[in-house]
Chain A
């Protein structure tokens, strides 16, 4: 099989993996080698689905011994199969990198023969790139569920990021849709976490100790293939951020890839739900929100019409309006229409005197939303704001977003 055909099969097979981040590496170009890390990450192109292409994202092989209902590469699916050789993949990565197409390689794989056998091949690619091609660019390896601890550790020595996909948010769903075991997924995550912690400790004492997965680990959850609600998903993400120190949890709207009766029949992937989950995820990581604040006990799903921060603000009107000139940064962050950047700018700019509503707009605040929640020097930021709930709601609903993303209800009861 020629290389172009292989690339077409193994690129297409990898497209449902969402992660494409190339950030978090500060690796300098090795002496006599090629490539370095760009700490903020660099996007090189955008595919027709609007997603960024930063890494060459391929499977080592799409041959798989597992038969997961939600996965396009499941054993029982009749489709062309292929596998790279280690050298093919190394050369392809280097040649793409030289032409500035990519930041590096994201390598995942179907399970060929056994977890260890597959993981060994993947580690070999990383090792060869690092030690023979002296490649300093970004490497992201998937840890294959069930792979031995030693191999997972080796992967982390060569790769910037190692990740394990959980895919399904609860054990029940896992049992229903796949023959993989929950412990096989969780074990490598724990292994990576402890290796990262140990490594941090080592490097405190010995700066020259090799780095272990400096860009940390991430995972992915499929949204809408199983009946879990948003609160279950966010609670899981929150636990993953805390317990396993994950850098990112990716959410992937389920794209129907089989007619399996255990899966919901949907016409289009639930993109709006995915979008709201990402917004909530941001609130957890950057805005100091707790899961319980984003979703209450009796509220299993995020609001479709309102972003989670606006929904929270409308439920907590007794906390508003807040005074722009004195409110601490953490409180500014909770105002709809103010983001991390504009909150930072406000804190700097207000030292120089009063800020008007016009000034705020210049600092990047979306006044249409923020006006209902802010006072400046004791007066509402704009007259006539913050009084009528229906007017506030009108200003907070993201209409232009809703039209293209709105989906049919998933599990119609």
Chain B
């Protein structure tokens, strides 16, 4: 029979779903979240979010699979990928079946698949630590809109907390519609409001009253050696999908 799992899309809900599937030793045909209703056939198992159960599952995973594996799963969960949940489940069922510390079987499709997904997230997060561009709006508030492929913001926000502890800043992920605001004391998750949207959707002409933006643009121009022009390398390292929010490319 075709089995379909359903959970609410949250991380605790996800852990409950994993707990259910791993203990039943089931391989669902699909895993869907709250906003996907149209199931035409098959048996749907709805797993309710239960934070106590999620915490227990979290601790069990840490003890059973070890911290590196749990970290890998967490990173993979941040990926924006249709088959993300199935891949994570495949991976954990493989570990249950073979050996809990079987992470080293790198060539196995289940391990390889999840490893690749987690790597994509890690690579993009690292890239974004460099490509985030703050714009100074009003007195001292720094705002940075980003549109990453994956939900990397939870990974990079702590980096900016450590780096710019005395600044008030906001990083807004427009693609996944959430952001983090640091007020020099604590970090809060926020929903990007209209004011942020206004800052983010400034016309691409780059008109801004921040003098350091034009200084930066000028600097990026003059630092290139004309005789070594290499747009292919530039695009390979810094894909064009990020350019919209780069001060020097706007």
Asked if A and B are interacting partners, one says yes
Contact A99/B220 with A3-B215, A45-B246, A45-B248 known, Cβ cut-off 8 Å:
no
B109 to chain A: closest residue by CB: A362
Q: Which residues from 1 to 57 on chain A have a C-beta closer than 8 Å to any C-beta of chain B?
A: 3-4, 7-8, 11-12, 14-16, 28-29, 32-36, 38, 40, 42-54, 56-57
B238 to chain A: closest residue by CB: A46
| B222 touches which of A11, A42, A404 (Cβ 8 Å) | A11
On whether the beta carbons of A33 and B225 are closer than 8 Å, the reply is no
Min Cβ gap A56→B in Å is 7
Contact A56/B106 with A36-B162, A49-B228, A50-B230 known, Cβ cut-off 8 Å:
no
Quick one: CB contact mask for B213-245 with A, threshold 8 Å, 1 for yes?
A: 111101111111111111111101110000000
Contacts of A99 in B (CB 8 A): 133-136, 142, 212-213, 216, 247
On whether the beta carbons of A345 and B106 are closer than 8 Å, the reply is yes
Contacts of A349 in B (CB 8 A): 104-107
Contact A268/B231 with A42-B130, A352-B105 known, Cβ cut-off 8 Å:
no
Contacts of A202 in B (CB 8 A): none
Residue A338 interfacial (CB < 8 Å): no
Min Cβ gap A378→B in Å is 20
Q: Which residues from 104 to 156 on chain B have a C-beta closer than 8 Å to any C-beta of chain A?
A: 104-107, 112, 126, 129-136, 142, 144
A136 to chain B: closest residue by CB: B163
Contacts of A32 in B (CB 8 A): 166
Interface residue tally for chain A (C-beta within 8 Å)? 58
Q: Is the interface of B mostly helix, strand, loop or mixed?
A: helix
A355 to chain B: closest residue by CB: B107
Interface residue tally for chain B (C-beta within 8 Å)? 53
Contacts of A4 in B (CB 8 A): 214-215, 218
Quick one: CB contact mask for A220-253 with B, threshold 8 Å, 1 for yes?
A: 0000000000000000000000000000000001
| A49 touches which of B163, B164, B218, B230 (Cβ 8 Å) | B230
State A57–B167 Cα separation when bound (angstroms): 24
On whether the beta carbons of B104 and A50 are closer than 8 Å, the reply is no
Residue B9 interfacial (CB < 8 Å): no
On whether the beta carbons of A359 and B222 are closer than 8 Å, the reply is no
Min Cβ gap B156→A in Å is 11
Residue A201 interfacial (CB < 8 Å): no
Interface 9-residue window, one of A90-98, A208-216, A281-289:
A90-98
Residue A188 interfacial (CB < 8 Å): no
On whether the beta carbons of A92 and B223 are closer than 8 Å, the reply is no
On whether the beta carbons of B234 and A48 are closer than 8 Å, the reply is yes
| B106 touches which of A3, A51, A362 (Cβ 8 Å) | A362
| A7 touches which of B135, B160, B219, B232 (Cβ 8 Å) | B219
State A360–B107 Cα separation when bound (angstroms): 8
Contacts of B220 in A (CB 8 A): 45, 47, 53
Residue A363 interfacial (CB < 8 Å): yes
Min Cβ gap B184→A in Å is 11
Min Cβ gap B209→A in Å is 14
Residue B68 interfacial (CB < 8 Å): no
A95 to chain B: closest residue by CB: B212
Contact A15/B222 with A345-B106, A355-B107 known, Cβ cut-off 8 Å:
yes
On whether the beta carbons of B130 and A44 are closer than 8 Å, the reply is yes
Contacts of B164 in A (CB 8 A): 34-35, 98
On whether the beta carbons of A56 and B234 are closer than 8 Å, the reply is no
On whether the beta carbons of B134 and A363 are closer than 8 Å, the reply is no
Complex A-B: 7 CB contacts under 8 Å: A4-B214, A15-B223, A34-B163, A47-B234, A95-B212, A100-B133, A255-B227
Binding site for B on A (CB under 8 A): 3-4, 7-8, 11-12, 14-16, 28-29, 32-36, 38, 40, 42-54, 56-57, 92, 95-96, 98-101, 253, 255, 268-269, 271, 345, 348-349, 351-352, 355-356, 358-360, 362-363, 404
- Taking A47-B234, A51-B224, A352-B102 as given, write out 9 further A-B residue pairs in contact, using a Cβ cutoff of 8 Å, ordered by the A residue number: A3-B215, A7-B215, A8-B222, A11-B222, A32-B166, A49-B234, A52-B237, A362-B112, A404-B232
Binding site for A on B (CB under 8 A): 102, 104-107, 112, 126, 129-136, 142, 144, 159-160, 162-167, 212-216, 218-234, 236-238, 246-248
